[in-house]
Structure 1
Amino acid sequence: MVVRGFLQGLHSSPFHGFSVQFSEHRRYNQGDDPKLIDWLVYAKTDKYYVKRYEAETNLTGYLAIDLSKSMGFTESQSMTKFEYATCLAASLTYLMTMQQDPVGLLTLGEKVHAELPARSRRGHLGDVMARLSQLKPEGNTNLAVSLTQVAAMLKHHSLVMLFTDLLDDPEATLSSLARLRHGGHDVIVFHVLDAAEVNFPYDGPVQFQDSETGETITVDATGFREDYLAQLDAFRENYRERCAKLRIDYVPLDTSMPFDKALTEYLMQRQKSK
């Protein structure tokens, strides 16, 4: 129910974005909506017929998943950023396929990989979920390069749902996001961080290691906390403001947030902006 409401927010209504193509007539049956009766056919045949329609979607969605090793981080040992992102991606795939919207899967490493083409058949849900379960966050990721390649790959208006911790060069990443928007694509950035990255629950001397480079640094966590949290707020606010100017939806999340709370808050913000 939560993700249904979420996607309805994207569509404004469950069928916004769908074109309806006339298919054929059939005899009127008790219980059919009288509004569907074709009165021109009735005038010719003196019989009641209703129009049958075939829903044809014009919204194609692409899940773009950050495969950087930093996405595998968790302090709680419960759910990593990557697992949180893939659960959300699977939920959205479920709803989009139920609405007959094609969904494709892209993974972002040092370059983009097209894992699965966009399809809308019911069996595609299983394909996407199977592939998501096989993916692992490993290696380095160049978000800017990958997103630029995505912009070049997509030939038609699409909805790009990006799942990432955004731990890369902000200017280069924002420039690539701008290319996606200028290409006519709708973009949602799901900024997924671990709860520890948001709350910084550390005290005393702590050694941190960069999961991608292996570089280590030791800091006095107690004295560093205030500066860290201020920098994190500035980091998120920069993305929030710059994405707003590009008309990109920016959704900050952390792994302690239940999906219903996270998506409901997002929907409320979106409705207020309309």
Structure 2
Amino acid sequence: MATAESYLKPEVIRNVARLDLRARFIVEGFLSGLHASPFQGFSVEFSEHRRYTQGDDTRNIDWLVYAKTDRYYVKKYQAETNITGYLLMDLSESMAYTYRQDLTKFDYSICLAAALSYLMVHQQDPVGLVTFDEKIQASLPARSKRSQLGNILALLSRAKPAGVTDVARSLRQFAPMIRHKSLIMLFSDLLTDPDPVLDALRMIRFAGHDIIVFHVLDEAEVNFPFDGMCELRDPESGQLMTVDAAGIRGDYLDAMKQLRDRYKTACRTIGADFVELDTSMHFDKALVEYLSQRKARF
């Protein structure tokens, strides 16, 4: 019998067409120990009793009532401050890049988004999805119904990264669509001028929304493992450049570190989370580690 861990291997995930399976194995296999919500703002309070019906969670049975009445009753709870989540997915062509990993940056981001969607829906937190390149391409309003997970996964499975992106413009276009205090989860490689992006993130944060930036890069973009003379192509502009890998490796790595440090420092200043990821990391373990750290802070 296959274990949850076996389904999380990249070579297996690549052949699994149903994203809901990916999400279920990640969440149920690795987040089962996180009993409390990792999202700030979620809590529940006791509402009332009702008769037990087949399919109810037996953990909610009130055994004191059973002892008095010899009947099964379950405790009903209601959410006090459910938080609304929005997944923002970058569709730029650069997100389709992979050097030697089984998952592209886009595939990796989909796995993260699928798991987070599953988690939020099962916590009865509304969650929505927005895909964008130069502007918003598709959006699903936030819902907490179980059917919402299928809607999100269907849209993600149809999405294809292509063309150029404008992260800042898309964030500004999205901002007026948020009607309530929400948790904004951005998935992007952010290979663009950081100033407009950070300005847009500040605007959203100062409007009272929580922000998590998942900065997803390919392993090669982080480590620059190339040797000799190599030809590099900008996937969005098509521009080609022939370089001596050894000669520019140091400058490249310094520039990439500066870019990430810029985003990290700015996000910390405005109270947003900045999560550094690359496609060599097991996305399930990276997600668990981040959510555990976030839960510990609140």
Is the contact made by 1:25 and 1:49 (CA closer than 8 Å) also made in structure 2? Answer: no
Instruction: Choose 1 or 2 for highest CA Rg.
Output: 1
> Out of 250, 257, 260, which is 2:281 matched to?
257
Query: Can you give the 5+ residue segments of structure 1 that lack an aligned partner in the other structure?
Result: 37-47
Q: Which amino acid in 1 is paired with 2:62?
A: D
Could you say if the C-alpha distance between residues 242 and 195 of structure 1 is closer, same or farther in structure 2, counting changes exceeding 3 Å?
Answer: same
TM, length-normalised to structure 2: 0.78
Q: Report the CA distance between 1:195 and its aligned residue.
A: 0.5
Q: Deviations over 1:104-152 (max 9, x none)?
A: 1101211123421111111221111111110000111110111111212
In the alignment, which residue of structure 1 is the partner of 2:26? none
Is the contact made by 1:20 and 1:54 (CA closer than 8 Å) also made in structure 2? Answer: yes
In the alignment, which residue of structure 2 is the partner of 1:243? 267
What SS does structure 2 have at the residue aligned with 1:190? strand
In the alignment, which residue of structure 2 is the partner of 1:2? 30
> Out of 155, 166, 172, which is 1:131 matched to?
155
Could you say if the C-alpha distance between residues 160 and 34 of structure 1 is closer, same or farther in structure 2, counting changes exceeding 3 Å?
Answer: same
Q: Report the CA distance between 1:55 and its aligned residue.
A: 2.2
Q: Does 1:32 align with 2:62?
A: yes
Q: Does 1:172 align with 2:196?
A: yes
Q: Report the CA distance between 1:179 and its aligned residue.
A: 0.8
Could you say if the C-alpha distance between residues 7 and 262 of structure 1 is closer, same or farther in structure 2, counting changes exceeding 3 Å?
Answer: farther
TM, length-normalised to structure 1: 0.85
Q: Deviations over 1:51-109 (max 9, x none)?
A: 95342352111110001111011111621100000111011111111111111110121
Instruction: Out of 105-114 and 229-238, give the one that drifted further.
Output: 105-114
Q: For residues 219 and 138 of structure 1, what CA distance do their matches in structure 2 show? A: 25
Is the contact made by 2:112 and 2:287 (CA closer than 8 Å) also made in structure 1? Answer: no
Q: Deviations over 1:161-194 (max 9, x none)?
A: 1000001110000000001101111110000000
What SS does structure 2 have at the residue aligned with 1:214? coil
Could you say if the C-alpha distance between residues 272 and 19 of structure 1 is closer, same or farther in structure 2, counting changes exceeding 3 Å?
Answer: closer
Instruction: Out of 109-118 and 171-180, give the one that drifted further.
Output: 109-118
What SS does structure 2 have at the residue aligned with 1:11? coil
Is the contact made by 2:38 and 2:292 (CA closer than 8 Å) also made in structure 1? Answer: no
In the alignment, which residue of structure 2 is the partner of 1:44? none
Q: Does 1:18 align with 2:43?
A: yes
Could you say if the C-alpha distance between residues 5 and 183 of structure 1 is closer, same or farther in structure 2, counting changes exceeding 3 Å?
Answer: farther
Is the contact made by 2:101 and 2:279 (CA closer than 8 Å) also made in structure 1? Answer: no
Query: Can you give the 5+ residue segments of structure 2 that lack an aligned partner in the other structure?
Result: 1-28, 53-60
Q: Does 1:222 align with 2:256?
A: no
Could you say if the C-alpha distance between residues 9 and 59 of structure 1 is closer, same or farther in structure 2, counting changes exceeding 3 Å?
Answer: closer
Q: Does 1:53 align with 2:76?
A: yes
Q: Deviations over 1:200-258 (max 9, x none)?
A: 11011111111111111111001111111111111111111110001100000000100
Q: Report the CA distance between 1:260 and its aligned residue.
A: 3.4
Q: For residues 7 and 235 of structure 1, what CA distance do their matches in structure 2 show? A: 36
Could you say if the C-alpha distance between residues 206 and 141 of structure 1 is closer, same or farther in structure 2, counting changes exceeding 3 Å?
Answer: same
Where do residues 175-186 of structure 1 align in structure 2 (5 Å cutoff)? 175-186=199-210
Q: Which amino acid in 2 is paired with 1:105?
A: L
Q: Report the CA distance between 1:32 and its aligned residue.
A: 1.2
In angstroms, what is the RMSD of aligned CA positions?
Answer: 3.1
In the alignment, which residue of structure 1 is the partner of 2:225? 201
Instruction: Out of 242-251 and 256-265, give the one that drifted further.
Output: 256-265
Percentage identity across paired residues of the two chains: 50
Count of matched residue positions in the alignment of Structure 1 and Structure 2: 263
